[in-house]
Amino acid sequence: MHRDFILNLEKKVFTGQDISYEEGCRLINLSDDALFEIIASAERTRRHFKGIEINLCSIVNAKSGMCQEDCSFCSQSAFYNTDIQTYPMIEPKDIVNAAVNAAKNGAREFSIVTSGTAVGSDEDISILIDAIHGIKQKTILERCASLGITKKEVLLKLKEAGLQSYHHNLETARSFFPNICTTHDYEDDVNVIKTAKELGFYICCGGVFGLGETKEQRVELAVTLRELGVDSIPINFLNPRPGTPLENANHLTPIECLKIIALYRFMLPQKDIVICGGRPANLRDMQCLIFAAGANGMMIGNYLTTMGRQVEEDLKMIRDLGLKPRIN
């Protein structure tokens, strides 16, 4: 029975029809027995729309901690007593060096990430502009930044300097967001995405799963991202951080993670789906199935405050699967 349902969804996707919220909910609620049927279909869908090339991206944590927001999963919030290293904006040359290393490791995209509600001081903006120029000069990386709820004027200056993509996660569904963050509104996040899109940035916007949201709320977020017309969806899985309110949350199971990835491939079939933080901790030995489940991208190297796997292991995994890193 679930086989017919999955094949019917696949047919809809291949003929350009949207999967509805209700269909998404039915898909994400299928029993674990259906996993390999879901994956087989998601793999065909990924191959059809995205082929065998995998987008690899890397980040630098250019400004760490001391954030005035209270996101309950985040070790960089000043509300919580965590043991992370905190520092103000690093020098442009350090950002550029991190980008050069990312390029050597095989990354295609590179994002400068800063903690805090927004970037706004002249000094920080000038560092970012210098860093963007340097990355452009020394690499062919796609240049991305994740700078919070940053104002339109600042985004415009950065675009003029050569920034191509803007990353800003909605984190979770609108209906669950007040459980996760009380210091700003969901609409503030939505608005920054709309502004960046208006300015012509490639939009990278997704969330963190395993925060206590329901399966239906995972579908709700997919619908919102589809309505916003984002280009790329970073999928993070919670890796509970000591000192945060979610420190005792359970990891998702690998099967839950794979179903989430497949849900997003079915609901946003033409978009880039990139697996980011929490991959090794949540998927463990099943990491190689993320591509069959529908992902066509992966963050390599370290995450913001936690370590990733060895890059060589990730590259080997891609080669072993008969896939290859996207070059341009």
Least distance CB 253 / ligand SF4 (angstroms): 24
Q: In the complex with ligand SF4, which residue's Cβ is closer, 139 or 282?
A: 282
DSSP string, 127-184: HHHHHHHHHHHH--PEEEEE-BS--HHHHHHHHHHT--EEE---BS-TTTHHHH-SSS
Asked whether position 172 contacts ligand SF4 by CB under 6 A, the answer is no
Asked whether position 77 contacts ligand SF4 by CB under 6 A, the answer is yes
Asked whether position 74 contacts ligand SF4 by CB under 6 A, the answer is yes
Among 111, 115, 236, 244, binds ligand SF4 (CB under 6 A): 115
Least distance CB 109 / ligand SF4 (angstroms): 19
* Residue span 132-151 as binding mask against ligand SF4, x where in contact by CB under 6 A, dash where not: ----------------x---
Asked whether position 71 contacts ligand SF4 by CB under 6 A, the answer is yes
Among 66-74, 92-100, 155-163, 272-280, the segment contacting ligand SF4 (CB under 6 A): 66-74
Calculate the CA 148 to chain-centre distance. 14
Q: Collapsing DSSP states into helix, strand and coil, what is residue 118?
A: strand
Asked whether 257 and 42 are in contact (CB, 8 A), the reply is no
Least distance CB 78 / ligand SF4 (angstroms): 8
Among 70-78, 99-107, 194-202, 306-314, the segment contacting ligand SF4 (CB under 6 A): 70-78
- The whole-angstrom separation of Cα 208 and Cα 185 is 17
In single-letter form, the type of residue at position 132 comes to I
Asked whether position 67 contacts ligand SF4 by CB under 6 A, the answer is yes
Q: In the complex with ligand SF4, which residue's Cβ is closer, 51 or 178?
A: 178
Among 1-9, 65-73, 224-232, 288-296, the segment contacting ligand SF4 (CB under 6 A): 65-73
CB atoms closer than 10 angstroms to residue 187: 11
Asked whether 165 and 201 are in contact (CB, 8 A), the reply is yes
Which residue is listed with tokens 């415009």? Answer: 156
Contacts of 5 (CB under 8 A, 6+ apart): 26, 27, 30
Q: Read off the tokens for 28.
A: 């994400």
Asked whether position 69 contacts ligand SF4 by CB under 6 A, the answer is yes
E strands, 29-81, where? 53-63
Among 76, 224, 239, 287, binds ligand SF4 (CB under 6 A): 76
Binding residues vs ligand SF4 (CB under 6 A)? 67, 69, 71, 74, 76-77, 115, 148
